[in-house]
Structure 1
Amino acid sequence: MSRPFGTGPLSRVAARTYTLLVVEALFAAATAPGLALLVVLGRDAGDIPLAAVAALPVGPALSAALFALHRQPADLTDLHPAAAFLRGYRLNALGALRIWAPLLAVLTVVAVVLAHRSAAGVPAWWLALLVALAAAATLVAVTALVIVSLFVFRPGDVLRLAVHFLAGRPVTALGVAGLLLAAAAVTLLLSEAVLLLLAAGYAAALLTVTRPMIAGIRERFVA
């Protein structure tokens, strides 16, 4: 007995690949000005604030990618990833920036202090504290970005939910932390541009590791 069109494994792989390619293309278009600036910037400490400005479009674009990938329809013959991405960008850009911009500000301050640690005479224990603060802020912000991309809550509630699920679900926290470490490794070993070109796959992986959190929010906090 033959399967209905669009239900076979090859069809699902093709549909997923198509969705990822479209989302990646739109992500690249949405972050193109920042990506161009990142490419020309060096690794000089004086360029850190400019790099933060260049990274501002990444937050709304990543939110739109999460929205589009999460809403891939069960009917694989009815794929509209471009429309989903644009709708997600329109709905969530401001909420994403409320999370992303403060995170970039924190990371910029920490990066500047680390870059000038010798001249400033900052003690090692203080540097370790700053790195821990930056890591914790990034973990919470990225998790909050997933929440704000898929649900409608007040900004304070988004952050409380992110902290609640990170503390209460170690598997989710470890999954997000692992993806952040992988992103940091790609950035350090290759470049920020390479990481941005892998954004759709990163967003898909982020949805996978936060799936228990997404299900928990839907069950407990969404009527």
Structure 2
Amino acid sequence: MTATARREFGAGPLSRVAALVYTLLVVEVLLLLCAAPGLLALLALERHVSNLPLVAVCAVPLGPALSAAVYALHHQRLDLTELHPARLFRRGYRVNLRGALLVWVPLLLWLTVIAVNLVNLPVAGVPGWWAVPLVLVGAGAAVVGTNALVITSLFAFRPRDVARLAGYFVLRTPVVAAGTAGLLVAAALLTLVASEAALAALGSVLVLALVRGAEPMITAIRTEFTS
């Protein structure tokens, strides 16, 4: 089979759909495997506010796994003759492990502090309206942190530059920020209505939606901040 024929074979609509399904399945399996230690412990935890710090600890392995999934889904081309999602995932995990943890762990710590304060407002005797600014701060941190995870997954910037770009592009690309916020809300609702297992089962689909929604930010960073 000639190179032209191979390209034609892998470039049709059905081939692209098949390639996408295959890529999502492979990335989903690898995502779950890498996050499995924390996810299994999380499923064993009782749903009680006193366990919030333990939930954060269980979520630590998820950060590098999400980063690797972002890397794989962004770089994979939907051509049946050139499918390497597992290879891309492994490379993304290896290259981005340190950067992902530097973004993910502080984000988890910050969100845990906010969550603990929220659930303890009545005990502390703080007025109920304080919940509003706390929720807004938490939502803003989650969106900026997600931006930072995408950036550090795809670009080799210093951690402080990643943080600056993540905050800058919340204002620069509000559509991306709104899309990210919508995904986070959907993930939270799915967890509350169903379970953490249901959220984990849709992990690769949510990451794909995140990558596609972040394309304006990714393109702008590549054009303006890389040589």
Q: Same fold (TM over 0.5)?
A: yes
Question: d(CA) in 1 for partners of 2:131 and 2:77?
Answer: 46
In structure 2, the partner of 1:133 is 137
Aligned to 1:153, the other structure's residue is in SS state coil
What is the 5 A alignment of 1:31-180?
A: 31-73=35-77, 75-180=79-184
Query: Aligned-pair distance for 1:154?
Result: 0.7
Quote the RMSD (CA, aligned, Å).
1.4
Question: d(CA) in 2 for partners of 1:175 and 1:97?
Answer: 23
8 Å Cα contact 1:6-1:76 kept in structure 2:
yes
Q: Deviations over 1:159-217 (max 9, x none)?
A: 11111111011111111111111111111111222212211001100011110111111
Query: Aligned-pair distance for 1:131?
Result: 1.2
Query: Aligned-pair distance for 1:127?
Result: 2.1
Question: d(CA) in 1 for partners of 2:225 and 2:122?
Answer: 48
Residue from 13, 16, 41 that aligns with 1:12: 16
Question: d(CA) in 2 for partners of 1:116 and 1:75?
Answer: 52
Q: Once superposed, which parts of structure 1, at least 4 consecutive aligned residues long, lie more than 6 Å away?
A: none
Unaligned runs of 5+ in 2: none
So what's the TM-score if we normalise by structure 2? 0.94
Percent identity between the aligned chains? 55
Unaligned runs of 5+ in 1: none
Aligned to 1:32, the other structure's residue is in SS state helix
Aligned to 2:80, the other structure's residue is in SS state coil
Question: d(CA) in 2 for partners of 1:59 and 1:182?
Answer: 18
In structure 1, the partner of 2:203 is 199
Question: d(CA) in 2 for partners of 1:63 and 1:49?
Answer: 22
Worse overlay, 174-183 or 109-118: 109-118
In structure 2, the partner of 1:190 is 194
Query: Aligned-pair distance for 1:75?
Result: 4.0
So what's the TM-score if we normalise by structure 1? 0.95
Aligned to 1:73, the other structure's residue is in SS state coil
8 Å Cα contact 1:38-1:193 kept in structure 2:
no
Aligned amino acid, residue 113 of structure 1: N
Worse overlay, 196-205 or 112-121: 112-121
Query: Aligned-pair distance for 1:74?
Result: 5.5
